[in-house]
A = this chain, B = another copy of it.
Amino acid sequence: MGRTFTYETYKVSELFEFMRTVILRLGHRVQRDQRITTHVALTARALGAEGMLLDSDDSGIEKSINEVTQRWGGSFYVRRITNWKNEIRNWKESGGKVLHLTMYGVNLPDIINEVVTENLLIVVGAEKVPPELYGLADWNVAVGNQPHSEVAALALVLDRLATYSGIEPLKTQFGGGEVEIVPNRRGKEVREK
């Protein structure tokens, strides 16, 4: 089963129509970045991204995120890649745009109205990224121009792009999966699907 989305619990599938978003995670170091990259993937999935390309042969991320998707639903994927420049080239050749998250870029509120596209690849680097990325990206975007977390920056970009278009990404619902949460004011409630 694929994903379905609700907006205000009534409108279904709007996120699909609104924008196709894929994350490209660059510079992942196998031991050091495992948890942060997992957080990047969880954030992307929770906010309705389609999947994540991981420029690394680290299979641990793929495994843990696949377990999340199996249990909690949806069709988010992690795909390991070996040549990030090819991925960017292919993306652009098929008409997509590339947004690179960097604290040195143009501040998100000053550029969000430009970032209107059906297919968006969001590049999330670890500490250092290849300098040529700045030229390959359609937009180099900062989330506040201060030292930041790339996890937080990704969350804010995905949230603001969606809400700017009138979509509530926190109401995303995921088809399939084994369990779902029943929101609760005081405790934990999980029900089998």
Q: Which A residues have a C-beta under 8 Å from some C-beta of B? A: 35-36, 39-40, 42-43, 45-47, 68, 72, 102-110, 134-135, 139-140, 142-149, 151-156, 159-160, 168-172, 174, 180-181, 183-190
Contact with A43, one of B149, B159, B172 (Cβ below 8 angstroms): B149
Shortest Cβ gap from A15 to chain B (Å): 12
Contact with A149, one of B42, B102, B145, B184 (Cβ below 8 angstroms): B42
Contact with A184, one of B106, B148, B159, B172 (Cβ below 8 angstroms): B106
Shortest Cβ gap from A113 to chain B (Å): 14
Whether A39 lies near B149 (C-beta < 8 A) is: yes
Contact with A181, one of B45, B104, B174 (Cβ below 8 angstroms): B104
Sample of 17 more A-B contacts, CB < 8 Å, known A39-B152, A104-B189, A139-B185: A35-B36, A43-B152, A46-B146, A46-B147, A46-B149, A47-B144, A72-B147, A105-B184, A106-B184, A134-B187, A143-B170, A144-B171, A144-B172, A146-B174, A151-B152, A152-B155, A153-B155
Whether B68 lies near A147 (C-beta < 8 A) is: yes
